[in-house]
Amino acid sequence: MTTPVLGSDPRIRAALRRLDLRVVHRLDGLLHGEHLGLRLGPGSEAAEARLYQPGEDDVRRMDWAVTARTDTPHVRDLVADRELESWTLLDLSASMDFGTGLRLKREVAVGAMVAANLLTQRVGDRFGAHFLHRGVIRRWPARSGNEALLSLLATVAAAPTGDDPDPAPHRAGLADAIDDLGRTRRRRGLRVIVSDFLDTPAFDGEVPWERPMRQVSSRHQVLVVEVIDPRELDLPEVGDVTLRDPVSGMVRDVRLTRSVRERYRAAARAQRERVRDALRGCGVHHLVLRTDRDWVLDIARFVIHQRRTAHRLSRHTPGVAR
């Protein structure tokens, strides 16, 4: 997956302008002047040392190095992060090239990534990306500004669709990509993970990405964007159909009887519930976008809800860093 020369394709710039108008104009002002800290409390980054005040300061913030040098107890103040790094993990697996609604799942996923980065750069933060494409994890460095976003969008646009006709012997999955994101991007910030999570077992078996997701959320703010298509939840009553697995390429003829459709709906519902329960257990924010809905409107509603929740939290919780 290579990056085209910036500006070589005017369609990429036009697409970005359309996304900018649809996303930023609808969400204009929602995040202006607001930059919540990463954790509850006074902050998460070390500041200057000062004299310890008995009865007022927490001894767990004691700066033992300064105390040893001066023979006087000192504590280290904490400040909230102001310039954060936002990293997006974008799942570009073959299953994301499917769509029966208004658009493909890949298009919705790319739109969610661009929306997150547009909102990020409006408060001055840098954004980077990891891509899971054809079983390989690829990285795009953190930058800021509109030109960087254009380059990122061009990189995604240049990624071939479908599965690799000559796959590598060791293919990375979503769990590997999340683990790679957590290991390589240690600085605290926002992590956005966009996927359809179709590799989640519906009934039995361990959720493979749950452990690395929990590790990432223990250090960062995490937003998970789940992209789904209505045909992944229910099948139409059309009789005999030919189905193809976009990942394995396997083709199978199926007669969609009432019992088959009911079993399919039950399995799809169980899988979505397992995804939701696993994400809730990881303590992450969960946004569901559908290919048959206005995804920009859904993002706007989600952002407004999160803003209201954060405001209520900051009013009722002493010491929330803002």
Average pLDDT rounded to a whole number, residues 166-174: 81
User: What is the model's pLDDT at position 5?
Assistant: 36
Helix axes 105-122, 295-316, angle to 10 degrees: 40
Q: Are residues 55 and 182 in the same domain?
A: no
Q: Are residues 21 and 65 in the same domain?
A: no
Range with lowest mean pLDDT among 13-22, 47-56, 111-120, 300-309: 13-22
Show the beta-strand stretches assigned E in 125-238.
Answer: 126-133, 136-143, 189-195, 221-228
Assigned domain for 282 exists: yes
User: What is the model's pLDDT at position 31?
Assistant: 43
Q: Are residues 116 and 86 in the same domain?
A: yes
Instruction: Report the candidate in 184, 202, 180 with the shortest Cα–Cα distance to residue 136.
Output: 180
Q: Are residues 54 and 192 in the same domain?
A: no
DSSP one-letter string for 262-299: HHHHHHHHHHHHHHHHHHHHHT-EEEEEETTS-HHHHH
Q: Are residues 225 and 123 in the same domain?
A: yes
Average pLDDT rounded to a whole number, residues 128-149: 88
pLDDT in tens, 210-231: 999 999 999 898 999 999 999 9
Range with lowest mean pLDDT among 45-59, 82-96, 267-281: 45-59
Assigned domain for 3 exists: no
Which residues does 67 contact at the CB level (< 8 Å), separation at least 6?
52, 73, 74
Alpha helix positions (H), the chain:
10-27, 64-70, 105-122, 146-157, 174-184, 210-217, 258-282, 295-316
Q: Are residues 87 and 60 in the same domain?
A: no
Indicate if the pLDDT at residue 54 is higher than 70.
yes
Confidence class for position 159, pLDDT limits 50, 70, 90? confident
Query: What is the number of domains present in the chain?
Result: 2
Alpha carbon distance 77, 277 (integer Å): 37
Q: Are residues 197 and 249 in the same domain?
A: yes
Which residues does 214 contact at the CB level (< 8 Å), separation at least 6?
281, 282, 283
Alpha carbon distance 61, 54 (integer Å): 12
Partners of 194 in the β-ladder:
90, 225
Q: Are residues 49 and 156 in the same domain?
A: no
CB 90 within 8 A of CB 127: no
Higher model confidence: residue 246 or residue 46? 246
Q: Are residues 99 and 233 in the same domain?
A: yes
Assigned domain for 321 exists: no
Indicate if the pLDDT at residue 115 is higher than 90.
no
Q: Are residues 174 and 226 in the same domain?
A: yes
Q: Are residues 90 and 187 in the same domain?
A: yes
Highest mean pLDDT of the ranges 45-59, 74-88, 197-211: 197-211
Question: Strand, helix or coil at 90?
Answer: strand
User: What is the model's pLDDT at position 123?
Assistant: 58
Indicate if the pLDDT at residue 35 is higher than 60.
no
Average pLDDT rounded to a whole number, residues 312-320: 51
Indicate if the pLDDT at residue 33 is higher than 60.
no
Assigned domain for 36 exists: no
User: What is the model's pLDDT at position 91?
Assistant: 96
Assigned domain for 106 exists: yes
CATH assignment of the domain containing 292: 3.40.50.410
Assigned domain for 161 exists: yes
pLDDT in tens, 194-213: 999 998 988 888 899 999 99
Q: Are residues 274 and 138 in the same domain?
A: yes
Which residues does 69 contact at the CB level (< 8 Å), separation at least 6?
none
Confidence class for position 263, pLDDT limits 50, 70, 90? very high
Q: Which domain holds residue 137?
A: 10-31+82-316
Range with lowest mean pLDDT among 36-40, 70-74, 91-95, 305-309: 36-40
Assigned domain for 1 exists: no
Assigned domain for 86 exists: yes
